[in-house]
A and B are shown apart, each in its own frame.
Chain A
Amino acid sequence: EIVMTQSPATLSVSPGERATLSCRASQSVSSNLAWYQQKPGQAPRLLIYGASTRATGIPARFSGSGSGTEFTLTISSLQSEDFAVYYCQQYNNWPLTFGPGTKVDIK
């Protein structure tokens, strides 16, 4: 099973600032990596798939990069609605696995 790790566990950011979240896979997942956003009391929402492709309706301030084992989600200018938990997920190998999440909160 591929183990996904995320850092940091919590990221404190001021509105308007840039946020950079990291995700690492225990072995290569090629570009088969997705990012999800989850707000309290809500279901997860797909942000990025294929490591760098924004899902339908996702604002351009969200961008993804990386391949192999190292990935990054960048939020260029945090808006109030972006404070949430972010999960990465690999779908290169079965079973699909999620990272533990990064909580982005208000500084």
Chain B
Amino acid sequence: EVQLVQSGAEVKKPGESLKISCKGSGYSFTSYWIGWVRQMPGKGLEWMGIIYPGDSDTRYSPSFQGQVTISADKSISTAYLQWSSLKASDTAMYYCARGPVGIAAAGPSDYWGQGTLVTVSS
């Protein structure tokens, strides 16, 4: 069974750093892209970026380039999303989602993690 299990909710202060995780199981982790999606409170879905764990090829949406870092550790089948300096506007639910298999980064997301709620407040 394919599963993406995300790390738990976080409460942070502005300016703090954070790294959240997404562990894949039940499939070949290195063969599928893994993407991150933001959902701000009461709002829609925003695609942030995507990584291919096989070679760490990473693409960012322009809106998120430079704001976050996406990485992966294929030895433990885990993808990460990190911030170096959080802002209150980073408060949101963050989902990881499995993307396409192979070379093409663009494709539908067939499996999703349960989400990680990040709250940034002073």
Contacts and interface: CB of A to CB of B under 8 A. Distances in A.
A1, A36, A100, A101, most chain B CB atoms within 10 A:
A36
B44 A101 contact: yes
> Interface extent on A, as a size class?
20 to 34
- Chain B contact residues, majority secondary structure: loop
A43 B59 contact: no
Contacts of A46: 108-110
Contacts of A36: 45, 109
A96 B115 contact: no
Contacts of B11: none
B63, B110, B113, most chain A CB atoms within 10 A:
B110
Nearest to B60: A95
Contacts of A77: none
Interface in B61-103: 61-63, 95, 97
B46 A98 contact: yes
Interface of A: 1, 32, 34, 36, 38, 43-46, 49-50, 55-56, 87, 89, 91-101
